[in-house]
């Protein structure tokens, strides 16, 4: 991983280590208010995006269907009662995303400005949170409106992540969650989206980054082994070329990519669907995955995770 990605993941580990309300997919599904801060779940965590869509129905179900005494499990009558009503979903991102289609508020800004908005929301929720100077009247009103929506919810969830590579954005999400926890101690949750399966696990293990590997290569390395990863997607071509020029490269992968093209030795390996093991998910929990397809011939797994 790159240095920027590594630092963002370390911050995720730090935040989750201090958080009692780490959201699962089920928690997000049952949230009655969502703040998406700087993430595009449709592209970075599709299953969580589906959960966000389901979350948008929670408040209308409680306010409309339950008042009509319609059991929640009667899907069609519930849909007829709720119609197009949606609960509060705030989508604050650098660019338009598919979540905008269900959002109550959509806001576009650069990552640093989104972080400032997050800190302002936290301060509006709890005066003890740091205040932000230099906000325009419109930004202050937006922060107050979002804070009001979140404070009125029973089960609000903050969704952020490492996609923007912004430490300030992650800290802002953590501050909003902390402020919500003071307002609604039992129901508030936080969800941090990470780049890949087991990338949070690598951060928890104290894994290095590409810059560290390049420095070691300059000091002398016999070989670099790349496990199911295209390093050209993690850093600039110049940085990866510099690393590869100093040592031999052995790549294990199931897909063709630029790293394989530059590798000295390429070993094919089984896809995720042809292997089983354990990884650390975005909640910081050990999660099992299972083989769904028998591997062809004698291809074997690359070794990511535990086989037991």
Q: Looking at residue 289, what is its pLDDT?
A: 87
Place of tokens 């209308």: 60
Place of tokens 């929670």: 58
33: nearest Cα among 124, 159, 185: 159
Q: Looking at residue 308, what is its pLDDT?
A: 41
Q: Looking at residue 150, what is its pLDDT?
A: 95
β-pair type (156-161, 286-289): unpaired
Q: Looking at residue 303, what is its pLDDT?
A: 63
DSSP 3-state of 283: coil
Q: What are phi and psi of 159, to 5 degrees?
A: -115, 125
Q: Looking at residue 157, what is its pLDDT?
A: 96
228: nearest Cα among 294, 276, 272: 272
Residues 243, 35 contacting (CB under 8 angstroms): no
**10-residue stretch averages of pLDDT, the chain, 308 residues long:** 85 92 93 94 93 88 79 81 84 94 94 95 92 90 95 94 93 96 88 89 83 78 87 85 87 91 90 86 90 77 53
Q: Which residues pair with 250 in a beta bridge?
A: 225, 265
Structural domains in the chain, sorted by start: 3-196 (3.40.228.10), 200-289 (3.40.50.740)
CA separation for the pair 174, 81 (Å, rounded): 36
Place of tokens 């959960």: 51
Tokens of 2: 């790159």
CA separation for the pair 257, 274 (Å, rounded): 20
Tokens of 288: 């099992």
């Amino acid at each position: 991983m790159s240095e920027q990605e590594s630092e963002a993941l370390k911050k995720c580990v730090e935040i989750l280590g201090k958080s009692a309300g780490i959201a699962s997919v089920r928690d997000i599904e049952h949230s009655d208010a969502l703040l998406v801060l700087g993430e595009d779940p449709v592209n970075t965590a599709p299953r969580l995006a589906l959960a966000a869509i389901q979350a948008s129905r929670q408040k209308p179900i409680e306010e409309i269907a339950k008042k009509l005494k319609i059991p929640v499990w009667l899907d069609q009558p519930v849909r007829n009662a709720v119609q197009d009503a949606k609960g509060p979903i705030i989508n604050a991102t650098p660019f338009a995303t598919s979540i905008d289609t269900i959002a109550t508020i959509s806001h576009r800004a650069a990552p640093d400005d989104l972080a400032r908005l997050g800190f302002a929301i936290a301060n509006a929720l709890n005066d003890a949170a740091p205040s932000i100077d230099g906000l325009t009247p419109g930004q202050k009103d937006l922060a107050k409106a979002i804070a009001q929506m979140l404070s009125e919810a029973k089960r609000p969830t903050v969704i952020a992540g490492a996609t923007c590579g912004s430490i300030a954005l992650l800290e802002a999400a953590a501050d909003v969650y902390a402020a919500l926890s003071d307002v609604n101690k039992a129901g508030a949750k936080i969800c941090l989206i990470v780049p890949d399966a087991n990338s949070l696990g690598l951060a928890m293990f104290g894994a290095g980054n590409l810059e560290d590997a390049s420095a070691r290569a300059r000091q002398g390395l016999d070989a670099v082994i790349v496990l199911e990863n295209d390093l050209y997607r993690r850093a600039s071509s110049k940085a990866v070329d510099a690393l590869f020029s100093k040592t031999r490269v052995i790549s294990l992968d199931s897909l063709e990519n630029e790293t394989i093209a530059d590798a000295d030795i390429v070993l094919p390996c089984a896809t995720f669907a042809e292997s089983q093991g354990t990884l650390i998910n975005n909640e910081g929990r050990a999660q099992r995955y299972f083989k769904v397809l028998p591997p062809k011939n004698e291809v074997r797994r690359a070794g990511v995770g535990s086989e037991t």
